[in-house]
Amino acid sequence: MHALTESVRRHPLPWYFGVTFFLSWAAIVVAVLAVTGGLSPTPEQFQLTVPVTVPAMLLGPAAASLVLTGIVSGRAGYRDLWSRLRVWRVDRRWYLFALLVAPVTLAVPVLVLWLFSLDYAPRFVTEPDKAGTILMALAIGLAAGFLEEIGWTGFAIPKARQHYSVLWTGLLVGVLWGVWHFFVSYWGGGGTNGGVPLAIFMSLWVVSVLVGQLTAYRVLMVWVYEHTGSVLVAALMHASLAAFQFILNPLTPGVPQQVYPWGQAAATWVAVAAVALTSRGEMTGRRRFLPINVRSHHRAPHRRR
């Protein structure tokens, strides 16, 4: 047990990813097996498991963070995490950016594609219950934002920033964040049972994860966190992405599900490029992020600009 504890303390980042993936993927596989009886459900069958699989999946990052924080830092780590969750007095521009960058980069590609094919009609347009769709989007967004960011931003980002720049931290965590979504992307997106052949799906998916929207969006999230030190703002930024994905992304399974994400990825990378060009080297600088309980001795977090 002592050797295991020492390993976690010396290599917290690999342990975080390993525990997160194990908890989330195991929960999804068990739930799918229990409901459908096999590991090749149709997208329709997979939807039956969503009330179980999604909450179980979301608990993975939070549970991994809380367990590993206790092992690595003890009570001081929990106090630090709690303090970063309560940072809300930041410049309003960070709230505006955190809440608006997702709907803009998501909507533009979908609306352009919709001009050429009805397969790309946004979910909000095709759903008869508009109010219910919005309420469900808010619930999903807030649950995903807070449960996941307790892990990704609460634990993984500060650990990665001890070694990497904002850009490389975002790329590392963003790629693994995309891989973490594999089963939801495969089953929910129509990649199984005739939606899209497995070989085509995998080739598109691997490339989309490496250069995809989640990777680009995570770079932006790390940049915002660098300026705010707020897990709360990161959770709201994540919630905005999840909510507007639910509202705007088309429901048509199969090939359309593999096309519009590329447009969204391109739009998000444009946003990353714009930030990089205007942020005076902040993306690639090696300045290490100071934990909030250390940084507060130099400058109050709510006055950081």
Q: For residues 16 and 155, is the Cβ–Cβ distance under 8 A?
A: yes
State residue 301's pLDDT score.
42
Domain range list for the chain: 89-303
Instruction: Give how far the C-alpha of residue 99 lies from the chain's centroid of Cα atoms, to the nearest Å.
Output: 14
State residue 189's pLDDT score.
64
DSSP 51-120: HHHHHHHHHHHHHHHHHHHHHHHHHHHHHHHHHHHT-----HHHHHHHHHHHHHHHHHHHHHHHTT-GGG
Q: For 74, left (φ over 0), alpha (ψ -120 to 50), or beta?
A: left
State residue 193's pLDDT score.
53
State residue 38's pLDDT score.
74
Q: CA angle, 304 as apex, 302 and 305 as ends, to 5°?
A: 125
Ranges under pLDDT 70 in the chain: 43, 188-195, 254, 286-305
State residue 42's pLDDT score.
72
Token pair of 222 as six digits:
């790390």
Burial of 297: CB neighbours in 10 Å, binned 0-12, 13-18, 19+: exposed
State residue 46's pLDDT score.
75
State residue 294's pLDDT score.
37
- Distance (Å, whole) CA 83 – CA 77: 10
Q: Which of 215, 121, 143, 155 is nearest to 12 (CA)?
A: 155
State residue 190's pLDDT score.
61
